[in-house]
Chains A and B, each alone.
Chain A
Amino acid sequence: QKEVEQNSGPLSVPEGAIASLNCTYSDRGSQSFFWYRQYSGKSPELIMFIYSNGDKEDGRFTAQLNKASQYVSLLIRDSQPSDSATYLCAVNQGGKLIFGQGTELSVKP
């Protein structure tokens, strides 16, 4: 079992819709979780982090964490074509980040 798992996609949503990206992790001791956005040919860019169970909102982005289910998600409201990118989930384990393979999101105009 991979330590951090994401559906590779591609996930395709129409402009204006909500995009839902999911991530599961295997280490129950993990305490901090991160979402990175990576445009093609560019480096990963940190967009959200969450440490506590529940929801954390920042603009159009909401991160959701459920430690009991070992599940973290990212919701993007009012999706725009500029949101089309690969989204990487990362979990902190002992000061090191373990990354999922990423989910490719395509927002169609």
Chain B
Amino acid sequence: NAGVTQTPKFQVLKTGQSMTLQCAQDMNHNSMYWYRQDPGMGLRLIYYSASEGTTDKGEVPNGYNVSRLNKREFSLRLESAAPSQTSVYFCASRVDSSYEQYFGPGTRLTVT
């Protein structure tokens, strides 16, 4: 039981490049989330998915797209990376019967 996994762990992009961050959970949770964490800004919600086939914007969705591929997987795509997207990205999933969220190990992204 791995919980929430994320790939890659580290990534360096040049401005304008695209990439997809992958997230998977093996806890059979319906809800999944993508956050970014910046110094002094705390965790901010980018997108979330309440169930397979649905996605909704969070607090900071601009510049990102998401796909809920199936119940296990929720990916985050940067179509044209910008230096402002340099951050640590966390994926989380939520226990269905409550509001507890469990986080993956994170992806540290640098855009130059």
On A, residues with C-beta under 8 Å from B are: 8, 32, 34, 42-46, 49, 88, 90, 92, 95-97, 99-102
Contacts and interface: CB of A to CB of B under 8 A. Distances in A.
Residue with the greatest number of chain B CB neighbours at <10 A, chosen from A42, A45, A99, A100: A99
B100 A88 contact: no
A101 B42 contact: yes
B62 interface: no
14 contacts: A34-B100, A43-B104, A43-B106, A46-B101, A49-B100, A88-B42, A92-B99, A96-B45, A97-B33, A97-B45, A99-B42, A99-B44, A100-B42, A102-B42
Interface of B: 31, 33, 40-45, 48, 50, 58, 90, 94, 98-106
